[in-house]
Chain A
């Protein structure tokens, strides 16, 4: 049986950061369902925040200001000590990335360039044009080549095996051979990313099914604040490919069908650079009022920035527009609409990235340490991955060095693998013609229609009903079988179970939270209610059912205030 001291699941930024910062004396490996460079981190565009103070406008910036902006942006749901930890570690993290070879854009004098981003008091977003995710992911992958990190690519983790509160390993489906196997590990770090594809309209890659979060939940790990789902204000109309916030950071305007920069009605002092929750709702409100185009989108106008600036600072956006919308932003405004983008919630972990299961850690988008609270600021997600990925690697190493052998018999793991094989045979034998992609589409529609930007009791209840119906139908799903090598159908069937659980937890958390906070907007409860709701939602699976509880927020330093922009 394959055995490792630390098994990192996920080869995106958080996963690579975890692997690179694990104790090199330990036996570490990364499992990824795609080659690491195909991970969704690669699609991040606008940048990564750190209070370097390199921009002439940002001389007075500090990590404390960065933390305060993050906390205010989170609508005070972030745990303040954790936000401070991240912002403090941001500065050395950027210089380490630079040392590893990240080709950041530069200001005259050769320092790392920084641009303004939404909800930030100073321009503190470091970038490499608009391909920041690409260059950081490639650079960390290069470092993993240097350090000879062991990778198992195109392996999908299907189960987290826990015994007596301790992590024992995982079960995997090897796409390349079609085999099901257990992998024993003394510590497991999940860095499995978000669940964007639970929604119909999302900026996320096709692979972002979020099954890692669901697998942790099914193993008894609580999920935190899952009702907080970020909708990015500017995704390309129809294709929903991300158009970076950097486009507005560089000076782009949002315009409705009356040629008005409508953000002046919603956030007069920050305009287009208000936090994402506010801008996304403003755009949808304009569209709903009939001020959009074709009742579907508004325009992001970059033309006044000029050809030179667009080509230098936003070449990727220009390429996306040309490839996928047949227009050149130098000459035409870009049609944009909000789309699901990021999960603030996730696997409940503490500031050591540790969960309640001994030896099980999580970092990056799949985790909720809680830094982003009810709304994440642009440029903070890449930062989250490198800072907390590193912490997860270090803490898992400390844990492994301090713990004895798991002492678990291999048989437990083998039995789990056997059980999955039996389930697969069951799906093959199902004589129904129910195909997984139909269920997938139905779930996406349910979530987009009922658990989107604007929410209310009736819709959320309807969503839960429909999710329960889908759970019933899932038992009848059929697998074409014959060959299990590179079977995307099997991947979808395996991941769909998690997607159903996640959808349920998101909708349930949203239904229970009778207030409006950050990304969670209730049409029937339009005000923030700190007295009753300044608390984290915790959902744990007990006997297949979600059990909801709440946890205190660390709001010790900055008292919650009205959030004005």
Chain B
């Protein structure tokens, strides 16, 4: 099969603006978009830049927009796109560093803001926490997150409101507060009781749609909202007593 890859190129500051470059790619075998990009780089233009590592959809390096769809290049098979013209763009909502490489810093900064680590009790338990599997299963969905940034870059709120933490960070926060081992106080996680936090979400669920690991981050955001409301009510009732 022969394909035309239209790849967005941009090398600031030399290039004044991004542009598309066409490459011919032919293969008789089933190849991933990542394999195709590597082939194009090796055979046609060694300066083409993109990130990759594991090639098995677990490291989260190669998120990009492939024929309009946000996905990992490594797990997207070229033939599955059912088109001989394939358009490759970097993830939006993030500044392009070079070609398909984007600056993930705002994504990581948002993650850091939620204190993305377990706040356990002070003393380490000699034989570990005892938690039933059913308890862990409640957060399993969120544990699958590989922090690829697809949800962040597709999110319309992120694109218009720079305060917004984005789906991955909020889902991570929910994963942590829902963990029976996490003892962070309400004052800590209620900091997301804002428009830049849990209430910023437009609930149009683009993040759920694009997540390559089926994390469904918006489920976490909605659950976080419910938890915030419940905690607030609890507090008011306690105050009245």
Contacts and interface: CB of A to CB of B under 8 A. Distances in A.
Interface of A: 34-35, 37-40, 42-43, 94-96, 98-101, 103, 105-113, 128-129, 131, 134-135, 138-139, 142-143, 145-146, 176, 205-207, 239, 241-242, 316, 319-320, 323-324, 435, 437, 479-480, 482-483, 485-489
Contact of B124 (A96, A207, A486): A96
B79 to A, nearest CB: 11
Instruction: From A108, A128, A239, name the one whose CB has the most chain B CB atoms within 10 angstroms.
Output: A239
A145 B119 CA distance: 13
A110 B131 contact: yes
B16 interface: no
B172 to A, nearest CB: 9
Given A103-B179, A134-B146, A142 B116 contact: yes
Nearest to A204: B54
The 5 A-B pairs at the shortest CB distance, nearest first, are namely A101-B118, A110-B130, A142-B117, A486-B49, A437-B42
Contacts of B61: 34-35, 38
B124 A99 contact: yes
Nearest to B72: A323
A304 to B, nearest CB: 22
A324 B116 contact: no
Interface stretch (B132-140, B190-198, B217-225): B132-140
B41 interface: yes
Nearest to B98: A486
A36 to B, nearest CB: 10
Interface residues of B, number: 54
Contacts of A138: 147
B21 interface: no
Given A101-B179, A145-B116, A176-B97, A38 B60 contact: yes
The main secondary structure of chain B at its interface with chain A is loop
B202 interface: no
Contacts of B132: 106, 108-110
B163 interface: no
Contacts of B130: 109-111
Contacts of B181: 101
A444 to B, nearest CB: 13
B46 interface: yes
A315 B111 CA distance: 26
Interface in B48-107: 49, 51-61, 75, 97-99, 101, 104
A392 B31 CA distance: 41
B165 to A, nearest CB: 15
A483 B59 contact: no
Contact of B46 (A143, A316, A435): A435
A439 to B, nearest CB: 11
B47 A99 contact: no
A42 B54 contact: yes
Given A437-B42, A485-B97, 20 more contacts: A39-B59, A40-B59, A43-B56, A43-B58, A100-B117, A101-B118, A101-B176, A101-B182, A106-B132, A134-B146, A139-B117, A145-B112, A146-B117, A206-B38, A207-B52, A324-B75, A480-B46, A482-B47, A483-B98, A486-B97
A491 to B, nearest CB: 11
Contacts of A100: 117-118, 120
Nearest to B139: A103
Contacts of B127: 95, 111
B122 to A, nearest CB: 10
A323 B34 CA distance: 14
Nearest to B130: A110
Interface in B164-189: 176, 179, 181-182
A52 to B, nearest CB: 8
Given A101-B117, A103-B179, A320 B56 contact: yes
28 contacts: A34-B59, A34-B61, A40-B54, A95-B128, A99-B120, A101-B117, A101-B176, A101-B179, A101-B182, A103-B139, A106-B132, A109-B132, A110-B129, A110-B130, A110-B132, A131-B143, A139-B118, A142-B116, A146-B115, A206-B53, A206-B54, A207-B52, A323-B57, A480-B47, A483-B14, A486-B49, A487-B49, A488-B46
Given A435-B46, A489-B47, A98 B128 contact: yes
B97 A205 contact: no
Contacts of B111: 145
B209 interface: no
A145 B117 contact: yes
A134 B143 CA distance: 9
B150 to A, nearest CB: 14
B3 to A, nearest CB: 19
Contacts of B144: 131
B6 interface: no
B121 to A, nearest CB: 9
A377 B28 CA distance: 38
A103 to B, nearest CB: 5
B54 A38 contact: yes
A56 B175 CA distance: 30
Nearest to A111: B130
A435 B45 CA distance: 11
Contacts of B52: 206-207
B201 to A, nearest CB: 23
Contacts of A110: 129-132
A205 B11 contact: no
A282 B211 CA distance: 40
A95 B127 CA distance: 6
Given A42-B59, A483-B11, A483-B98, A205 B53 contact: yes
Contacts of B143: 103, 128, 131, 135
A483 B45 CA distance: 12
Contacts of B59: 34, 37-40, 42-43, 205
Nearest to A325: B30
B136 A103 contact: yes
B153 to A, nearest CB: 16
Nearest to B143: A103
